[in-house]
């Protein structure tokens, strides 16, 4: 039996975590969920949206899965999500983006992963006000964090049988911060035996290249099938992963894993979607796919495959779909259908 920390989050978090739990249970894995609350709901009582008991639970169980948590815009407490990643040193954010044949999209064969550095860049929270006339945020890129994330991406590429490792940056403008990231990208990919292609060489082997972030955005829309693993600083990863979600059916689909040396926290890429919260219509696929990543992480490959096959089948049939994918099913009806297919 596994003991896993479950943070339901808020907004649609409550609905999608309930659906995810039922689907994982249907797969037959024996999990005891340790449910802990974070976010605005506990702010007054504990004086923090991320009380110590949340971190203590994850430190004890080593693994957590969470629903999205609302962050006030432009004021109020700092993001619980960013704080969790920093406190637990979850340095790698892994976001696989794949097409499901059954989901309508302009593309057919997308299979790429965004690896986003999770601890620094403009998310380090080093910002201050200069009187009432300016705000200054510092973009911090360090050698150590860049080395660690590129090294992680190299291993991910090899472990998952991908060929192309792309470093994404804006080193033409931010020559010092992104310039360092790009230099480290070159050093670390070489150290891992992933060399750039020679001029005119066909891409018939594992290789590295780099793309400026704006060109990456365009090429991801034009030819997403040509990318495999993309590694980048925090902010570019945040933006490009939402862009990639749009290529395969939207934010309701894309999962993620926050991985550190000691702990791992799995969550959907999407947020708490306040516009549709409480209506029972959110698509739980992103969190269910995050649970699949979690099951593989703990070695429960058979259960992961059962859920993955059920998702494929439900999309292929196209009869029980949530409204973001053009269907009429509720979150619960979608989860019921998955549970039925898994048990069959
Ligand atoms: P969002 O991801 O919540 O919503 C963007 C759009 O996608 C909305 O139209 C929403 O209805 C739709 N959407 C998202 N997930 C969906 C799902 N599962 N099924 C169907 N439709 C879905 O992004 P937004 O509105 O920028 O952020 C809302 C709140 O969530 C903010 O407070 C933000 O800080 C927080 N957030 C939290 C994250 C986390 O906990 N990891 C990640 C991203 C945002």
Q: Say which of 10, 86, 123, 263 is annotated catalytic.
A: 123
186 Cα to the center of ligand 1, angstroms: 34
Domain shared by 258 and 297, yes or no = yes
Question: What is the domain extent for residue 59?
Answer: 1-93+252-343
pTM greater than 0.85:
yes
Residue 164 has pLDDT above 90, yes or no: yes
- What sections of the chain are H helices per DSSP? 13-26, 40-46, 52-61, 80-87, 143-159, 177-191, 213-222, 234-247, 285-297, 301-317, 331-343
Among this protein's residues, is 53 annotated catalytic?
no
pLDDT in the model for residue 344: 86
- pLDDT, tens only, 182-217: 999 999 999 999 999 999 999 999 999 999 999 999
Among this protein's residues, is 214 annotated catalytic?
yes
Domain shared by 230 and 125, yes or no = yes
pLDDT in the model for residue 77: 80
- pLDDT, tens only, 210-256: 999 999 999 999 999 999 999 999 999 999 999 999 999 999 999 99
Answer with the one of 248, 272, 307 that is the final residue of a domain.
248
Is position 100 within any domain? no
Q: Does the beta carbon of 285 sit less than 6 angstroms from any atom of ligand 1?
A: no
Domain count, the chain: 2
pLDDT in the model for residue 104: 84
Domain shared by 70 and 169, yes or no = no
pLDDT-based confidence at residue 73 (cuts at 50, 70, 90): confident
Among this protein's residues, is 123 annotated catalytic?
yes
* Cα 58 from chain centre: 18
Is position 129 within any domain? yes
Strands, sheet with 2-7, edge to edge from the N-terminal-most edge strand? 31-35, 2-7, 63-66, 264-268, 255-259, 92-98, 111-117, 229-232, 164-169, 207-212
Q: Which atom of ligand 1 is nearest to the CA of 324?
A: 20
The DSSP letter of residue 135 is E
The DSSP letter of residue 78 is P
Instruction: List the beta bridge partners of residue 168.
Output: 211
């Amino acid at each position: 039996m596994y003991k896993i920390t479950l943070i339901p989050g808020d907004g649609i978090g409550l609905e999608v975590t309930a659906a995810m739990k039922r689907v994982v249970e249907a797969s037959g894995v024996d999990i005891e969920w340790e449910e802990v609350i974070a976010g605005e709901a506990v702010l007054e009582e504990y004086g923090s949206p991320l009380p110590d008991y949340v971190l203590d639970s994850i430190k004890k169980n080593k693994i957590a899965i969470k629903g999205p948590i609302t962050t006030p815009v432009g004021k109020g407490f700092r993001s619980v999500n960013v704080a969790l990643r920093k406190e637990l040193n979850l340095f790698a954010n892994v976001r696989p983006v794949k097409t499901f044949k059954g989901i309508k999209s302009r593309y057919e064969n997308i299979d790429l992963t965004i690896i986003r550095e999770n601890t620094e860049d403009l998310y380090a929270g080093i910002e201050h006000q200069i009187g009432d006339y300016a705000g200054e945020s510092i973009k911090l890129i360090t050698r150590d964090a860049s080395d660690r994330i590129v090294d992680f991406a190299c291993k991910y590429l090899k472990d998952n049988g991908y060929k192309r490792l792309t470093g994404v940056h804006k080193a033409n403008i931010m020559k010092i911060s992104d310039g360092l990231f790009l230099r480290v990208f070159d050093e670390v990919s070489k150290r891992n035996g992933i060399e750039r292609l020679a001029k005119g060489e066909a891409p018939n082997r594992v290789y590295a290249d780099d793309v400026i972030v704006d060109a990456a955005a365009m090429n991801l829309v034009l030819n997403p099938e040509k990318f495999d693993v993309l590694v980048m600083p925090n902010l570019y990863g945040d933006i490009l992963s939402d862009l990639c979600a749009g290529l395969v059916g939207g934010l309701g689909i894309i999962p993620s894993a926050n991985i550190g040396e000691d702990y791992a926290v799995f969550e959907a890429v999407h947020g708490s979607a306040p516009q549709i919260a409480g209506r029972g219509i959110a698509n739980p696929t992103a969190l269910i796919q995050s649970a699949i990543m979690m099951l593989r992480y703990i070695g429960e490959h058979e259960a992961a495959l059962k859920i993955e096959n059920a998702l494929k089948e439900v999309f292929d049939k196209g009869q029980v779909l949530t409204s973001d994918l053009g269907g009429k099913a509720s979150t619960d009806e979608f989860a019921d259908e998955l549970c039925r297919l898994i048990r069959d």
